[in-house]
Amino acid sequence: MKRFLIPLAIFLLLVAILGYALLNLDPREVPSPLIGKPAPAFDLPQLAQPEQKFSPASMRGRVWLLNVWASWCVSCREEHPVLVQFSRTGTVPLYGLNYKDARADGLRWLAQFGDPYIASAFDNDGRVGIDYGVYGVPETYVIDKAGVIRYKQIGPVTPEALEKKILPLVKELEKS
């Protein structure tokens, strides 16, 4: 009988993990442990100009947004027009983190759908993404003048999220 119990045992383990995940983890709502902490430092080549680098340190003294995206990410397509439109307003600098992507794919993607970013850092092996606790692409971080992460949007930036959460926060941070 014992070996016939194996499927049941595997299944119960699966249910336990799923139950735990359901009750304790929420990929969308749980605030990132990084909120209120300094944005992890990095120094990555830029997507469009590999010879130039981008580092969050260069943004000290400004409130800015970091958007994690990838050409293979389907939800990014949903979000992208919102970002393109938003970038035209020039309210706040928007930088991209091109996550686990091939350079050619990323560039092609921007050519096709428009480039809302001042620049995108090229995180080919996803190492910076791990530092930032990227779970699913897209994610967007609001970083204040002192280089501290103040908000993290998990999933696509919607016009509502921009209107209700991100922009008010940016305004407030810019005052201080």
Partner 1 sequence: MIPEIGLFALCLALFFAAVQGVVPLVGVGRNSASLMSLGRSAAQGQWLLIAIAFGCLTYAFVANDFSVAYVAEHSNSALPLAYRVAAVWGGHEGSLLLWALMLASWTLAVSLLSRALPEAMVARVMAVLGLVSFGFLLFIVTTSSPFERLLPAAADGRDLNPLLQDPGLVIHPPMLYMGYVGFSVAFAFAIAALLSGQLDAAWARWSRPWTTTAWVFLTLGVGLGSGWAYYTLGWGGWWFWDPVENASFMPWLVGTALVHSLAVTEKRGAFKNWTVLLAIGAFSLSLLGTFLVRSGVLTSVHAFASDPRRGIFILLFLAVVIGASLFLFAWRAPKVGLGGRFALISRETLLLVNNVLLVVAAGSVLLGTLYPLFIDALGLGKLSVGPPYFQTVFVPLMVPLLFLIGLGPSARWKEASVSDLKVRLGWAFGLALIAGVGLPFLFGNWSPMVALSLLLATWILAATVVDIRHRLKSAGRAPASFWGMHLAHVGIAVFVIGVTLVKGYESEKDVRMAPGDTVHVGGYSVRLIGVKEAMGPNYRAMVGEVELSEGGRVLRSLHPEKRNYFSSQMPMTEAAIDTGIFRDVYVSLGEPVGEADGSGAWSVRVHHKPFVDWIWAGCFLMALGGVLAVADRRYRLKGKSNNGNPS
- 75 binds partner 1, rule: CB under 8 A: yes
Instruction: State the Cα–Cα distance between residues 93 and 66, nearest whole angstrom.
Output: 9
Question: Contact region for partner 1 (CB under 8 A) — 41-49, 50-58, 106-114, 163-171?
Answer: 106-114
Encode 19-37: b = buried (16+ Cβ within 10 Å), e = exposed. eeeeeeeeeeeeebebeee
Cβ closer to partner 1: 101 or 144? 101
Residue 52: CB minimum distance to partner 1, A: 22
Q: Which of 31, 130, 146, 172 binds partner 1 (CB under 8 A)?
A: 130
Q: Which residues pair with 97 in a beta bridge?
A: 68, 121
Cβ closer to partner 1: 60 or 164? 164
Contact pattern from residue 25 through residue 44 relative to partner 1, giving x for each residue in contact according to CB under 8 A and a dash for the rest: xxxx----------------
Question: How many chain residues touch partner 1 (CB under 8 A)?
Answer: 46
Residue 17: CB minimum distance to partner 1, A: 5
Instruction: State the Cα–Cα distance between residues 151 and 70, nearest whole angstrom.
Output: 20
Cβ closer to partner 1: 23 or 176? 23
Instruction: State the Cα–Cα distance between residues 163 and 156, nearest whole angstrom.
Output: 14
Three-class secondary structure of residue 149 per DSSP: strand
Residue 95: CB minimum distance to partner 1, A: 20
Q: What is the DSSP string of 77-114?
A: HHHHHHHHHHHHHTSS-EEEEEES--HHHHHHHHHHH-
Instruction: State the Cα–Cα distance between residues 67 and 83, nearest whole angstrom.
Output: 9
Q: Which of 31, 36, 61, 159 binds partner 1 (CB under 8 A)?
A: 159
Q: What are the residues binding partner 1 (CB under 8 A)?
A: 1, 4-5, 7-8, 11-12, 14-15, 17-28, 72, 74-75, 77-78, 81, 84, 100, 108, 111-114, 126, 129-130, 133-137, 154-156, 159
